[in-house]
Amino acid sequence: MRALALVCLVAVGATAAQAFGQHSAWGGLGAAFAALLWLVWDNTRRLGVITWLRGEDGKEPPEVGGFEGEVMERVHKRFVQKDGMAADHATRLHEFLQAIEASPNGITLLLGDGRIEWCNPAAMEHFGIDVQRDRLQYVQNLVRHPVFAEHFRLGRFDTEIEIDAGASRGRGDMTLILRVRRYGEGRLLLLSRDITVLKRSERMRRNFIANVSHEIRTPLTVVRGFIETLQQFDLSKDEQQRYLTLIAQQASRMDTLVTDLLTLSKLEGSPLPSIGEWQPASTLFDEVLNDARSLAAVLGHTTQRIVGDVPAQLELAIQPSEWRSAMTNLLSNAVRYTPSDGQIAAGWRAMPDGGAEFYVQDSGVGIAPEHIPHLTERFYRVDQSRSRETGGTGLGLAIVKHVVQRHGGEVRIRSQLGKGSRFALYLPPRRVRAQAPVSLLAAAKVSTASRAD
């Protein structure tokens, strides 16, 4: 094509020059001039191609047509394809890094000698390192734990290790599982996993089983002792009766314990109570208040004064059996930990924020401040013997806390040693309604209280 164009141009140049000059020498001159013209034109096009390829001429190829145009068009297409692929790879790489950053597990990239190249936020949290500040620092100097140091020194990375990272960094409880893996050309990958919560719940489970076993074994030992006495000695009818009564008491203690354990496990396993069924606050309250008075009579607290107060219009979205259990627990504690001549006031109260609280105030033995944060823990007892004497399992307030939290509320405790205690179960506004607005009920209560003062 190009040769044909050159021949045509030379021929046209020669013919035109000869016609102009009427001499054969003019033809030669014309042909040479046409060839020169062609050379300049052709090289200008080539220069355009080179300039574009060098990237000096913007992205789009210049419009030159012909062979060069075709080449540039194809090269351009390839460039566009490559750019697209590179952008695609960059996006994928970015997403991949984001996923690694979001991982709850720690990932630290190390050089072969243990110097830190990069790590994700979880690893920073695990080891207390800063990827900018500690880049190229030796990981052995930053994760200062003898087990890790030995593991790294031996370089046998076929097992994972467990370290107490909290102790080595002088901060709270933090247990980590670490695994080192080799990758690439002599590089190391340090993976870390925080198992603090798992360890804690494992510990709690072990303690719980130990506590349950202890709580069951104590009455069982007593029962066995009484049975042996009955078997071995020739006792009078009255003595036999006395031992049988004691056996029955221990059996009922075990029964209460098992009932409380089942209540707790049911609370943990069942779905959260819905906000569908509303009921007057007074319905349940009257029942549990009567039960408390019966318990006081059974325990011989005959002069104990138990008074109740519920706003008539108050309605609650609560799961009745759960709240019966929670309210009964608080009232039974008040009866058990208040002397016979003491006073107990219980009731529902609308709160200024639109919520409501169930409260039980007693003039009983009270609780020292250091015990208050632990009262809702399972099997926590301030006074072991008093709790057992009065039939307590140490699970009552744990059940109460579960019930209230399942309803979105909280347990509030105030107490003064020797003066009495006030336990309140707060219920959030979404579970409280009244014929009159709850805020008005609360305001009415406040003004009545201040007049009484």
3-state class (DSSP) for residue 381: coil
The reply on whether position 17 binds ligand ADP by CB under 6 A is: no
Q: Least distance from C-beta 275 to ligand ADP, angstroms?
A: 28
Q: How far is CA 237 from CA 240, 241, 244, in A?
A: 5, 6, 11
Query: If 0-12 CB within 10 Å is exposed, 13-18 middle and 19+ buried, where does residue 287 land?
Result: middle
Size of the site for ligand ADP (CB under 6 A): 22
Q: Which of 327, 382, 432, 438 binds ligand ADP (CB under 6 A)?
A: 382
Q: Which listed range, 24-32, 194-202, 218-226, 359-367, lies at the site for ligand ADP (CB under 6 A)?
A: 359-367
Residue span 284-323 as binding mask against ligand ADP, x where in contact by CB under 6 A, dash where not: ----------------------------------------
Of 30 and 364, CB closest to ligand ADP: 364
Q: Least distance from C-beta 329 to ligand ADP, angstroms?
A: 6
Q: How many Cβ atoms are within 10 Å of 233's Cβ, its own excluded?
A: 11
- The greatest distance separating any two alpha carbons of the chain, rounded to the nearest whole angstrom, comes to 162
Q: How far is CA 358 from CA 2, 308, 312, 398, 428, in A?
A: 100, 11, 14, 17, 12
The reply on whether position 179 binds ligand ADP by CB under 6 A is: no
Q: Which of 125, 160, 383, 410 binds ligand ADP (CB under 6 A)?
A: 383
Q: Which of 10, 123, 314, 367 binds ligand ADP (CB under 6 A)?
A: 367
> CB–CB of 358/425 below 8 Å?
yes
Of 318 and 334, CB closest to ligand ADP: 334
Residue span 253-282 as binding mask against ligand ADP, x where in contact by CB under 6 A, dash where not: ------------------------------
Of 373 and 437, CB closest to ligand ADP: 373
d(CA 379, CA 261): 11
Q: Least distance from C-beta 358 to ligand ADP, angstroms?
A: 14
DSSP 2-33: HHHHHHHHHHHHHHHHHHHHSSHHHHHHHHHH
Q: Least distance from C-beta 365 to ligand ADP, angstroms?
A: 5
Of 315 and 362, CB closest to ligand ADP: 362
The reply on whether position 327 binds ligand ADP by CB under 6 A is: no
Q: Which of 10, 326, 397, 438 binds ligand ADP (CB under 6 A)?
A: 397
The reply on whether position 364 binds ligand ADP by CB under 6 A is: yes
Q: What angle do CA 229, 234, 236 make, to 5 degrees?
A: 100
Of 181 and 419, CB closest to ligand ADP: 419
Q: How far is CA 411 from CA 318, 323, 345, 432, in A?
A: 15, 13, 17, 16
Q: Which listed range, 43-51, 67-75, 80-88, 391-399, lies at the site for ligand ADP (CB under 6 A)?
A: 391-399
Q: Which listed range, 26-34, 109-117, 282-290, 333-341, lies at the site for ligand ADP (CB under 6 A)?
A: 333-341
Find the binding residues for ligand ADP in span 420-439 (CB under 6 A).
Answer: 421
The reply on whether position 362 binds ligand ADP by CB under 6 A is: yes
Q: Least distance from C-beta 197 to ligand ADP, angstroms?
A: 24
Q: Which listed range, 56-64, 160-168, 242-250, 376-384, lies at the site for ligand ADP (CB under 6 A)?
A: 376-384
The reply on whether position 394 binds ligand ADP by CB under 6 A is: yes
Short-list 425, 433, 380, 381, CA closest to 406: 425
Q: In what order do the strands lie in the sheet with 356-362?
A: 305-309, 343-350, 356-362, 420-427, 410-416
Q: How many Cβ atoms are within 10 Å of 398's Cβ, its own excluded?
A: 21
d(CA 149, CA 152): 5
Q: Least distance from C-beta 267 to ligand ADP, angstroms?
A: 14
> Any residues with CB less than 8 A from the CB of 151 and at least 6 apart, and which?
157, 161, 178, 180
Token pair for 371: 């015990």
In Å, how far from its chain's centre is CA 312?
40
d(CA 98, CA 154): 33
> Where are the extended beta strands (E) located within 251-371?
279-280, 305-309, 314-316, 343-350, 356-362
Q: Which of 334, 351, 432, 438 binds ligand ADP (CB under 6 A)?
A: 334
Q: Which of 180, 295, 365, 404 binds ligand ADP (CB under 6 A)?
A: 365
Q: Least distance from C-beta 369 to ligand ADP, angstroms?
A: 13
Q: If residue 366 lies in a helix (H) or strand (E), which one and from where to where?
A: none
The reply on whether position 337 binds ligand ADP by CB under 6 A is: yes
Short-list 34, 107, 41, 106, CA closest to 68: 41
Residues of the shown chain interacting with ligand ADP in the complex, contacts defined by CB under 6 A? 329, 333-334, 337, 362, 364-365, 367, 375, 380-383, 387, 392-398, 421
